[in-house]
Chains A and B, each alone.
Chain A
């Protein structure tokens, strides 16, 4: 019998508790709610759309802010839609970028249909094959704990798929207005340069 699956909210809250001044990009839907549930933060850029784009938003940000840590937290469905981004990031090799996939093996937002990861697609293997500095699939909180310092400070690009359960989580919605989210984020990152 396999052990109980991790709770997605516990995982995301645990990672973000150690975030320091890390810049966080979340994928549309559930991972945006997960980050909101862990506590709103001015260094969070919440995507509510652009499915497949989260990791690449992270790359552009990591390239612009090489002195800062950038963590992308997204869903398995979202990552699968932009799989090419793993090849692009592996090639670009940003040392300050980490991608964490909250992998429930489902398209949770749209009715819990199974994704490709429920059928054997191994995202960490794809990331490793694409040239990420390290990539792993994490199934226990101990494994997550061991990876947190890496995700938040190890030499990148790093990739972790965290296997989580499918229990519904309570609604937690952050800012919704894209213009407001971007203005707040730019102000947090750039301060006086934000109005350039």
Chain B
């Protein structure tokens, strides 16, 4: 069954992909776009979901996880990306697989001007720090993109970020 194709159930499809990829440790700072995925990870006994105070903690934690033989994923919104940059030195220097799923703000239909600067900087900043970026703007393609990113991360030992576009995540209705 291909569950990749509906607008609403992409988080469930991504959850399935993470399980297939052998992801065990899940670290996150909440974003509304990740709400369902975070719930699913917490509810799954095969996964260990850990709340962070800051996104950079997750990069360090996933280094430790992989050193100990676990695969993991880091969930955040785009505002958190800048906080992670110095920690990318660890994953680059030690060639640690890093899979990040970033829900975007500051782009499609954004109402909060304060989100725009970091939203625009997200991809260039990641690339400057050596992270490979896969942007996806179509709900039907999120799961397959995460699948490809997980392979690149875990099989090719690379830091990879999937940027899940605001077009997929949806935007807040400012008037309500």
Binding site for B on A (CB under 8 A): 23, 25, 45, 47-65, 68, 82, 84-85, 87-88, 91-92, 178-179, 181-182, 185-186, 189-190, 193, 196
- The reply on B50 being an interface residue by CB < 8 A is yes
Q: How large is the interface on B (under 10, 10 to 19, 20 to 34, 35 or more residues)?
A: 20 to 34
In Å, the complex CA distance between A84 and B87 comes to: 15
Contact A64 B67 (CB under 8 A): yes
With A50-B90, A64-B69 already in contact, the answer to whether A25 and B57 are too (CB < 8 A) is: no
> Min CB distance, B112 to chain A, in Å?
24
Minimal beta-carbon separation of A63 from chain B (angstroms): 6
Cα separation A115 to B60 with both chains bound (whole Å): 23
Per-position binary interface string of chain B over residues 54-77, scored 1 when its CB falls under 8 Å from any chain A CB and 0 otherwise: 101111111111111110100000
Q: Identify which of B59, B65, B90 contacts A63 (C-beta below 8 A).
A: B65
Inter-subunit contact B96/A196 (CB<8 Å): no
Q: Which of A52, A59, A87, A182 contacts B94 (CB 8 A)?
A: A182
| Complex alpha-carbon distance, A189 and B69, angstroms | 8
Contact A58–B86 (Cβ < 8 Å): no
Which residues on A sit within 8 Å (CB–CB) of B67? 45, 57, 60-61, 64, 182, 185-186, 189
Question: Please, could you name 18 A-B residue pairs with CB atoms under 8 Å apart, sorted by A?
Answer: A52-B56, A53-B56, A55-B60, A58-B64, A60-B25, A60-B67, A60-B72, A63-B65, A64-B65, A64-B66, A64-B68, A65-B68, A84-B52, A88-B50, A178-B93, A185-B67, A189-B69, A196-B69
Task: Among A50, A55, A185, A193, point to the contact of B87 (Cβ < 8 A).
Answer: A50
B156 contacts across to A, CB distance below 8 A: none
CB neighbors of A among B26-61 (8 A)? 48, 50-54, 56-61
8 additional A-B pairs beyond A56-B58, A56-B61, beta carbons within 8 Å, are A50-B87, A56-B57, A60-B25, A60-B72, A68-B68, A82-B60, A92-B50, A178-B93
* A47-B90 contact given A52-B56, A63-B70, A92-B50, CB 8 Å threshold: yes
Give Cα distance in the complex from A57 to B67, angstroms.
9
A64's closest neighbor in chain B, by CB? B68
User: Closest CB of chain A to B62's CB: distance in Å?
Assistant: 6
B89 at interface, CB cutoff 8 A: yes
Return the contact of A60 from the options B65, B89, B95 (Cβ within 8 A). Answer: B65
Tell me if A51 and B86 are in contact (CB < 8 A).
Answer: yes
| A48-B93 Cα distance, complex, nearest whole Å | 10
For A193, the chain B residues whose CB sits under 8 A away are 69
A85 to B72, CA, bound (A): 18
Shortest distance from the beta carbon of B48 to any chain A beta carbon, whole Å = 6
Residues of chain B within 8 A of A54, CB atoms compared: 60
